[in-house]
């Protein structure tokens, strides 16, 4: 699933294409998306100018000149594809935005899980998000306060968007590795020194993600992650063998030596 660095990268690409342009046509190309964005809502966006594109956690907001907005969520593997209005739609097209300069921005998703929804100015989307994980004002005390209410392990708590916005399975594992904390430790047991290391670990993991922006598929990342998807390989820090376990239905990767519980 695309997480904060990947969604930020996608939002910047969309912003370059959409900002200041007028939407000539907004169309859906899959039954599930047509249910999320019915024709009466799509018509509300047609003819409107885009005044901004923002990222909120793992979601994107396309802001219109009426004050209304389009909420875009990639879910597991959605992405933007840029083309021309005169050409055929790309494979797995789910939603397309035809623009007044002849270009077309298409939301593609082979699994058809992505979503675009329209929201009136009087009813903006309610995302129920915690602070952005890359917020420079975030402090170790903030982390302790937010995780203090969680009874389960640390790594699933990191993925709770109401606790921190933007972190998913990959960067939760990576942050724990950078911080040298166990992803299986109780979230509520976070001491101040561990909270300081975890905050540094989050920032290091996200910084790495921004440098290596782009969607990850198994074995396709030019620079490997530190632990994610590296079961059985040596840890870059201590050479112990990286392990994998399942937490909350997702794979967790960690080093048993330098991330001992």
Question: Hey, is 18 helix, strand or coil?
Answer: helix
Closest CA to 70 of 3, 133, 110, 18: 18
Complete DSSP assignment for 20-56 = T-BEEEEEE-SHHHHHHS-HHHHHHHTTPBEEEEEEE
Number of neighbouring beta carbons within 10 Å of residue 132 = 19
Catalytic residue among 55, 58, 94, 194: 58
The answer to whether the Cα torsion of 38, 44, 48, 49 is positive or negative is negative
Residue 97 in contact with residue 104, Cβ under 8 Å?
yes
Write down the residue that tokens 């299986």 correspond to.
184
CB atoms within 10 A of CB 244: 15
58 is catalytic: yes
Backbone angles phi and psi of 144, in degrees to 5: -60, -40
140 is known as an active-site residue: no
Q: Which two tokens stand for residue 22?
A: 């007028």
Catalytic residue among 2, 140, 156, 183: 2
Per the residue annotation, which of 103, 186, 215, 250 is the catalytic one?
Answer: 250
Q: Which of 3, 8, 132, 174 is catalytic?
A: 3
- Confirm whether 8 is a catalytic residue: no
CB 242 within 8 A of CB 235: yes
- From the number of C-beta atoms within 10 Å of its C-beta (0-12, 13-18, 19+), residue 42 rates as buried
3 is catalytic: yes
Catalytic residues: 2-3, 58, 250
């Amino acid at each position: 699933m695309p997480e904060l660095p990947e969604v930020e990268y996608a939002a910047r690409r969309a912003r370059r294409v959409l900002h200041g342009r007028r939407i000539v046509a907004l169309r859906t190309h899959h039954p599930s998306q047509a249910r999320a964005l019915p024709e009466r809502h799509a018509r509300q966006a047609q003819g409107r100018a885009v005044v901004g594109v923002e990222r909120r956690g793992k979601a994107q907001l396309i802001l219109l000149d009426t004050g209304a907005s389009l909420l875009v969520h990639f879910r597991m593997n959605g992405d933007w594809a840029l083309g021309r209005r005169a050409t055929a739609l790309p494979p797995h097209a789910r939603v397309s935005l035809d623009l007044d300069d002849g270009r077309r921005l298409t939301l593609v998703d082979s699994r058809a899980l992505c979503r675009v929804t329209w929201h009136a100015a009087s009813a903006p989307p309610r995302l129920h998000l915690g602070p952005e994980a890359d917020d420079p004002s975030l402090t170790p005390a903030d982390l302790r306060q937010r995780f203090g209410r969680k009874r389960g392990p640390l790594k699933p708590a990191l993925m709770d968007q109401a606790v921190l916005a933007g972190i998913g399975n990959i960067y939760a594992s990576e942050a724990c590795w950078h911080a040298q904390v166990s992803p299986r430790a109780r979230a509520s047991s976070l001491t101040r020194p561990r909270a300081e290391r975890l905050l540094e670990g989050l920032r290091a993991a996200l910084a790495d993600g921004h440098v290596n922006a782009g969607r990850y598929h198994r074995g396709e990342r030019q620079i490997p992650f530190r632990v994610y998807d590296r079961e059985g390989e040596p840890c870059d820090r201590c050479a112990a063998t990286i392990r994998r376990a399942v937490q909350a239905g997702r794979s967790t990767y960690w080093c048993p030596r330098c991330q001992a519980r």
